[in-house]
Structure formats: structure tokens, C-alpha cells
Amino acid sequence: MDILTLNCGSSSVKYQLYHWDSREVLANGIVERVTIGGSFISHYAKGKGRVKREHECPTHKEAVQLITETLLDPEIGALKDLTEIKAVGHRVVHGGEKFAKSIIINEEALNTFKELSDLAPLHNPPNIMGIVAAGKVLPDIPHCAVMDTAWHQTMPECAYIYGLPYEWYEKYRVRRYGFHGTSFLYVAKRTAVLLGKDPFETNLVLLHIGNGVSANAVKNGISIDTSMGLTPLEGLIMGTRAGDHDAAIGYYIIKKEGLTPEEVEKILNKKSGVLGISGKYTDRRDVLEAAEKGDKRSRLSIEVESYRLKKYIGAYHAAAGRIDAVTFTAGVGEMSPVIRAKAIEGLESLGIIIDPEKNKLSHTHNAETDITGKGSRVKVFVIPTDEELVMTEDTYALLKGNYDSHTNFTYSFQSRDYENKERAEALKEEIKKNPQLKKIVASIP
């Protein structure tokens, strides 16, 4: 049985085709520059390597059609017929209060996602476009939604209610929702495996650091607080988003610059964060390179981002009461020893210490690594996230009728024997080039 997952952004569509019976990825890739011209697909199929092909995609429908045509291509594809796909799982960023777990999409759910678009204007509209487009290309199979916000529906009121007029919550559901939930679910369960503990006996601080960045406090295996809020703008410094700042700044700049509220909102979402501070970059590799060459604003950007991370680790340590582990994930979290080191530096009083050499070695998307330092009371892990696998497993379980929320459901990756075959093979090749990497691969008790 094959399951297709789609993650639709404003100008891209990521996809993965997973064969359930053999538990392996048959194909994956991304269509980029959707709706803006110069579109192309970067596609990988097992045993056939990776290829790139140009193809204009003026809408998401053409992008989904391109994906299915590529999957059917006899030379580079992975399917003989589209009927081999039995269900499609879609990422939906904002599910509001209505959804605490993944669902099979119906008209009512789609209308809810549309109503929530104001709260996630950069994400929900393209998510919806992808659902509609895929429904037209693959109309006769179930389509499922996996919400980023669902994981955080366990937060207590004291964590999600803002210090604002309560009627705003009653009338408009203004509250903290949180995002990156699919990533946090995977990483929380994998961290529990590496600790050798029941997931519902673990207290964790999870840090998803990519272009979007958020922190998550986990107590007894469930989310109790997170840094993103009503929208994905709040919280940590991000690639282009401001994160926490004085709300009055927007009004101040409107008066000083003569901007509209819409223009200020765009600046806060697309021209702030790492880009706003450095003035040039969003990719942390570029920022780090420029900082090493003496660029003061790039250096400042690293310091500000890391300082904010450190503050959230401390805050969530306090919220959880005690923590068993701090886990880094996502592109920057997995690949930037510098930002990890600066985020942990000075937390020895909380019992959180990393090993500098192990941290420098941890630079891979293919291994779960243990970078805990000597004398640390808290484990520090780097775990590559796998949102696509969570989406696939939720979709399969919905198809079979045995799905439930994560508190009553066990995923395959919670097993001590779980292995991502694709990553395991890639890791073997990495270790051949860098045998030292083997020393930091996390062991399972």
C-alpha cells in the first residue's frame, strides 16, 4: 500500500511516497517556484537517483499533476498506476481549537481551514490550495489533514490565554495555539526512546530551529507550552519573522514611516528576524560565514538568536519543573553546532552541559546524536525530524479506522528497533568519510 504526503507552501509543494508494507520511502521531492514562474521539480526515486526537470506550474493544481506524472514516469518514477496510492496526507498549519488530532478531510473541515486563514496567512491558503488541487487529481481516495496545532491542544489555560480582554478569546478565539506540532510529536517520542523511558514519564525542552523556529515544553509526554502564538509570528527569532517584541512598535512605526498596518505586518513576517538584523541573510550558513569574516550585524544576529533560545530553555525548564533532555531538531538545529553551543552556554547551573567536541561532530540529517557533556544532569540530543512519517502513519491509521490522538496511539518510531532505512544507508556513507561520527550516534538503553 502506497501513501502520498503533500506539504504545500505558498510557492512550493513537498511530497513523499511511502510504501507501507516494506516501511520505506519510494520517492520524494519538491516542486519549487509554483505560481511565480520558472517552476521546476527536484525528484528522487529509490534506485533511480535524483533528477531536476523544469515545468511551469501557474497554480498548485499543475504542481500536483506534475508530481503524479513524475511518479508515473517509467524512467524516473516509482508507480505503475495512480491506483497504487490509497490515501493522501496533507499538512495543515492551523487547525484552531476544533482539531486536537488528524482527520479525514470533508467539506466542513475544509471550510474551517478557510476560516482560520487569517491566523496563518502565509500557510493555510496554500495548504488549502494543495488539498483542493490534489482532490481534483486524485478524487477517489481519502485525503487526510495533519494539523501543526493539534499537538499543542493539551496546553493548560494559563499557558494559552493572553493578558488581553477575555471577550476577544470568547468572540474570536484569540489565544496561543503553537505550531511545528508534527515535528515536536516525532521528536518527543524519539527522545523518550533514547532516554529509555515511557514517553508519558518524560519532561523535555524541544527546539525546532529552521527558517521557522519554535520551542516546546513537554511535561509527562504532552505539550504544556510553546513559543509561537495565535500565529507563527510570536516567539523566537526566525529567518524572516520578528518573534517576541513590544506590540506598540508596530503602531510607532506606522506613525513614523507612514506605513499601513498591512505593510507593517508584512515587514514583521517577511523582513525581520535574522534577515532584519543581518540586513542580508536568512540562511544561517551565510550568516555564520559572514560573521567569521567580520560582519558585525551577522555576528549580532547569531548572538540575538542564540540568546533568545537560551532564555526559552530556562523558562521551559521552570515550566516543566525538571527536564530529562533538551533536543534540537530541523535544519539549523540539526546542522549548526555554533548556534547549539551558544544556546546551551551558561546553563550549567540548570544541569545542562554539552560536550564541545561532540557538538562540533554533530552535523548530519541522518543520525540521532548525543552531545551531552560530562557532569550534565540533563541529556542533550540532536534528532533529525520526520514530519512526513507522522503524516503517513496518521493517514494510514485513519484509513484503517484505528487512529487516535497521540496519548492513545503508538507510532512505529516509538519502537526500540525502529530504523529509517534511507537515513541508515546514508549514514553508512557518511561514517566512511568521517569515522568519528560513529562516536556520537545516540545509543538506545
Q: Is 403 helix (H, G, I), strand (E, B) or coil?
A: coil
Q: What's the rounded Cα separation, in Å, for the pair 196 and 96?
A: 33
Beta strand 379-382 with 369-370 is antiparallel
Nearest 10 degrees: Cα torsion 3, 8, 14, 18:
-10
Would residue 140 show up in a list of annotated catalytic residues for this protein? no
AA letter at 95:
G
> Residue 140, class by beta-carbon neighbours within 10 Å (0-12 exposed, 13-18 middle, 19+ buried)?
exposed
Q: What angle do CA 135, 398, 127 make, to 5 degrees?
A: 40
Residue 304 DSSP class: H
Please report how many Cα atoms fall inside a 13 Å half-sphere around the Cα of residue 391, on the Cβ side: 30
Neighbours of 408 (CB within 10 A): 8
Q: What's the rounded Cα separation, in Å, for the pair 295 and 274?
A: 13
Contact of 108 with 95, CB cutoff 8 Å: no
Q: What's the rounded Cα separation, in Å, for the pair 438 and 362?
A: 10
Marked catalytic residue, from 2, 73, 140, 148: 148
Query: Which helix or strand (DSSP H or E) is residue 392 part of?
Result: helix 387-400
Query: Which helix or strand (DSSP H or E) is residue 193 part of?
Result: helix 181-195
Nearest to 23 by CA among 419, 427, 425: 419
Residues 6+ apart with CB under 8 A from 339: 209, 284, 302, 305, 306, 309, 332, 333
Question: Which residues participate in catalysis according to the annotation?
Answer: 148
